[in-house]
Amino acid sequence: MQEYIINGLLIVVALLAVILQIIGMRPSAGMTKKQKVMLWRILTATVLLLILQVLGAGAFEVFGSAGRWVRLAVFLVDYLVIGYDILKKAGKGIRNGQVFDEHFLMAVATLGALALAVYENGDYLEAIAVMLFYQVGEWFQSYAVGKSRRNISDLMDIRPDYANIEREGKLEQVDPDEVGIGTIIVVQPGEKVPIDGTVVKGESTLNTAALTGESLPREVKTGDEIISGCINMTGLLHIQTTKEFGESTVSKILDLVENASSRKSKSEDFISRFAKIYTPAVCYAALALAVLPPLVRMFAMGLDAGWETWIYRALTFLVASCPCALVISIPLSFFAGIGGASKAGVLVKGSNYLETLSQAKIVVFDKTGTLTQGVFEVNAIHHNEMDERKLVEYAALAESASSHPISKSLQKAYGMEIDRSRVTNIQELSGNGVIATVDDHQVAAGNDKLMNRLGVQAIPCHSVGTIIHMAIDGKYAGHIVISDIVKPHSKEAIQTLKSAGVRKTVMLTGDAKKVADSVASALGLDEVYSELLPADKVEKVEQLIQNKPEKEKLAFVGDGINDAPVLRRADIGIAMGAMGSDAAIEAADVVLMDDDPMQISKAIKISRKCLGIVYQNIVVAIGVKLVCLVLVALGFANMWLAVFADVGVMIIAVLNAIRALFVKNL
């Protein structure tokens, strides 16, 4: 037994010495001051314990009859070097009425083992080695959590330290919180964009990797909107702020990630409830193991009680029962999963959403801005007697109050500045279109429903696209064909989702049936529902939820601007391409910072990998614990196996949890 423990101690010294050497050569490797102190404590205690074992009990015979107590005192010093904080935490827990935790278990087990060694004038190695290996496990756990936090800290690097304001020809650095809306800030090459705004002067290339996880640069020029968190790569930019720092994109993202750990998954809640019941139960079981068998031997069997044997088994039972592997590794797995996802541009608001996302078997898509680019262009103009140019002008003026992509495409086709003074009495009819007065003419621009509502006979159009019918003063004037462009990776994204185990893909859109069917057919979607109002989309999602198996989850993917009701109603709401979209960040459970639909399957794969690791850790931790507890109770396992059951399984589980950080190749 002693040979195994000493060999284990030598391995620990060698391993930690190598780690310390690496850290010494590379301070950036990222150890906190507390971790460094703990590492030195482990090394000091290990070396002292090895020296004491080499010297042996004979070295203390020079002290005569007091040698036994001198030896005990030296071993106690070693014990306190490695375990004083555990004793302190156990005492604090007892004072606060929270007795049953891992610190209490370790304190009772090791102090009990020391007491037995004193009583039998035996060896103190085992008791100190147990505490030492426990602290090694705690150190590995602390380092793993730190590694996870550093991955999230990579995302936190988007937080700007200052904003440049030009005063009297000189740049002055100020706190971003002090910059008001409408202020002109200057962003030099290599600096972060601190606040959302509009470029008023300059051209440059932006690095959006911290937000999207992708290194593809973005070109910006005067008039372009720009969001905080990007890094200015080349030119000098003058930006007029459109939001305060607290409301800017970077602040909302940071708040989202920092608060993600507050939303617990069912697995984490189960482990918390399990630990509250499990820890007291094993303490009472250990007490029963120490007392009942000796009493039975004495009074029922007439044998020697063997108190030392059964107390030792009870103490070993406590060491083996410590629930560290479960309590530490499960939250760490989710924490690492959220951190890895954040680095890939997938922001998950909590581990509960990560768990739900892993169960998604039905994925429902909005069309515009999700599967298509949302870049509408006027492709054809069919008119009666009215001039083609005049028809587009009336349509652009009537739609001038709308922010819908179709409205913007009409204004783009018009090509001139909109004179809003020419437009009055604007009525926007949801799901129909717009009626407005333009130059004292009543102009109606919308779909077939609007024409029927006005009693105007529309001429059918056989082109595929969004058809904007026009009526001037109650007379049909023609129609404009506008079409959207499918994103390059949309078809591949649908195929990847199906290969990842998604059972059904559905598209919901307000577009005409002909347009919707054309897009759905091209992408290989299973179902498509068209000509839907926002309320119809919610109703359709509710129907899909009611008709699916209970264990399956439904995910809705939208652009987050006008899909907030559906994002909230789905089992899991995913907003994509949401840089700068407040509505997306508020309404969705998962926010994809890139508008590439391939990110959807990546988000699901990340969640499934994380949950797979969680289940692996639960099965291994509970399985090994139960086996070891039975072996200890029957006398087939000693303190060494108990240490493995506690510390060894915890280290294995923690190292397994770290795998959730690595999501690059998913």
- pLDDT tens digits, one per residue of 466-522: 788 999 998 999 998 887 788 889 999 999 999 988 999 999 988 778 888 888 998
415's CB contacts (< 8 A; 6+ apart) are none
Instruction: Give the amino acid at 264.
Output: K
Q: When comparing pLDDT for 635 and 254, which is higher?
A: 635
Tokens 């007490």, located at residue: 287
Backbone angles phi, psi at 465, to 5 degrees: 155, -175
pLDDT at residue 249 above 80?
no
Instruction: Give the amino acid at 106.
Output: M
CA–CA gap between residue 431 and residue 447 (Å, rounded)? 8
CA–CA gap between residue 206 and residue 220 (Å, rounded)? 7
Residue 634's pLDDT band (cuts 50, 70, 90): confident
Q: Name residue 572's beta-bridge partners.
A: 555
pLDDT at residue 456 above 80?
yes
Asked if residue 137 and residue 20 are part of one domain, the reply reads yes
* Count of domains forming the chain: 4
**Is residue 425 a part of any domain in this protein?**
yes
Cβ-based burial of 430 (10 A; exposed 0-12, middle 13-18, buried ≥19)? exposed
**Is residue 631 a part of any domain in this protein?**
yes
Question: Over the chain, what is the mean pLDDT?
Answer: 81
Q: What is the CATH number of the domain that holds 219?
A: 2.70.150.10
CA–CA gap between residue 416 and residue 384 (Å, rounded)? 23
Asked if residue 536 and residue 496 are part of one domain, the reply reads yes
In sequence order, what E strands does 156-266 have? 163-167, 170-174, 184-187, 197-201, 204-207, 218-220, 225-226, 231-232, 237-241
Give the 3-state DSSP-derived string for 279-293, with helices as H, strands as E and coil as C: HHHHHHHHHHHHHHH
Element (DSSP H or E) covering residue 508: strand 504-508
**Is residue 254 a part of any domain in this protein?**
no
Asked if residue 561 and residue 439 are part of one domain, the reply reads no
**Is residue 216 a part of any domain in this protein?**
yes
pLDDT at 23: 44
Residue 274's pLDDT band (cuts 50, 70, 90): confident
Nearest to 125 by CA among 165, 60, 198, 75: 75
pLDDT at residue 11 above 60?
no
For residue 591, the SS3 value is strand
Asked if residue 19 and residue 141 are part of one domain, the reply reads yes
Q: What is the CATH number of the domain that holds 401?
A: 3.40.1110.10
Asked if residue 114 and residue 31 are part of one domain, the reply reads yes
pLDDT at 579: 57
Tokens 């020419």, located at residue: 422
Neighbour count for residue 347 (Cβ, 10 Å): 26
Q: What is the CATH number of the domain that holds 575?
A: 3.40.50.1000
- For the record, the structure tokens of 2 come out as 């002693």
- For the record, the structure tokens of 615 come out as 């289940």
Angle at 304 between CA 301 and CA 307, to 5 degrees: 115
380's CB contacts (< 8 A; 6+ apart) are 463, 465, 480, 481
Q: Max Cα separation, the chain?
A: 121
Asked if residue 432 and residue 353 are part of one domain, the reply reads no
pLDDT at 581: 60
Q: 542 near 569, Cβ under 8 Å?
A: yes
Asked if residue 150 and residue 59 are part of one domain, the reply reads yes
Q: When comparing pLDDT for 266 and 150, which is higher?
A: 266
**Is residue 247 a part of any domain in this protein?**
no
- What is the domain extent for residue 436? 377-483
pLDDT at residue 559 above 70?
yes
pLDDT at residue 27 above 50?
no
Q: Name residue 482's beta-bridge partners.
A: 378, 466
pLDDT at 254: 65
- For the record, the structure tokens of 616 come out as 């692996």
Backbone angles phi, psi at 483, to 5 degrees: -130, 150
Question: What mean pLDDT comes out for the span 138-167?
Answer: 67
CA–CA gap between residue 622 and residue 489 (Å, rounded)? 43
Q: 61 near 155, Cβ under 8 Å?
A: no
Q: Is 366 a catalytic residue?
A: yes
Asked if residue 569 and residue 465 are part of one domain, the reply reads no
Mean pLDDT is highest, among 98-107, 322-331, 434-443, 534-543, for 434-443
pLDDT at residue 88 above 60?
yes
Question: What mean pLDDT comes out for the span 338-363?
Answer: 87
Q: 438 near 397, Cβ under 8 Å?
A: yes
pLDDT at residue 153 above 60?
no
Asked if residue 266 and residue 314 are part of one domain, the reply reads yes
Residue 149's pLDDT band (cuts 50, 70, 90): low
Cα 247 to its chain centre, rounded Å, is 21
For residue 348, the SS3 value is strand
Asked if residue 136 and residue 9 are part of one domain, the reply reads yes
**Is residue 52 a part of any domain in this protein?**
yes
Q: When comparing pLDDT for 12 and 250, which is higher?
A: 250
For residue 561, the SS3 value is coil
Q: For the whole model, what pTM was predicted?
A: 0.67
Q: 573 near 591, Cβ under 8 Å?
A: no
Nearest to 339 by CA among 142, 152, 605: 152
**Is residue 600 a part of any domain in this protein?**
no
- For the record, the structure tokens of 342 come out as 């954040």
For residue 379, the SS3 value is strand
In sequence order, what E strands does 317-465 have? 346-348, 360-366, 377-383, 423-429, 433-438, 441-446
pLDDT at 654: 79
Angle at 317 between CA 313 and CA 318, to 5 degrees: 125
Q: Percent of the chain at pLDDT above 90?
A: 19
Question: What mean pLDDT comes out for the span 198-204?
Answer: 92
For residue 484, the SS3 value is coil
Catalytic residue among 366, 484, 511, 596: 366
Asked if residue 151 and residue 176 are part of one domain, the reply reads no
Instruction: Give the amino acid at 457.
Output: Q
pLDDT at 28: 42
Nearest to 80 by CA among 48, 102, 58: 48
Q: 263 near 216, Cβ under 8 Å?
A: no
Asked if residue 101 and residue 10 are part of one domain, the reply reads yes
CA–CA gap between residue 192 and residue 232 (Å, rounded)? 6
pLDDT at 26: 45
Mean pLDDT is highest, among 67-71, 266-270, 440-444, for 440-444
351-358 vs 266-299: helix crossing angle, rounded to 10: 100
**Is residue 602 a part of any domain in this protein?**
no
Q: 620 near 610, Cβ under 8 Å?
A: no
Cα 384 to its chain centre, rounded Å, is 56
CA–CA gap between residue 20 and residue 6 (Å, rounded)? 21
pLDDT at residue 444 above 90?
yes
Question: What mean pLDDT comes out for the span 345-367?
Answer: 89
pLDDT at 187: 93
- For the record, the structure tokens of 296 come out as 């039975």
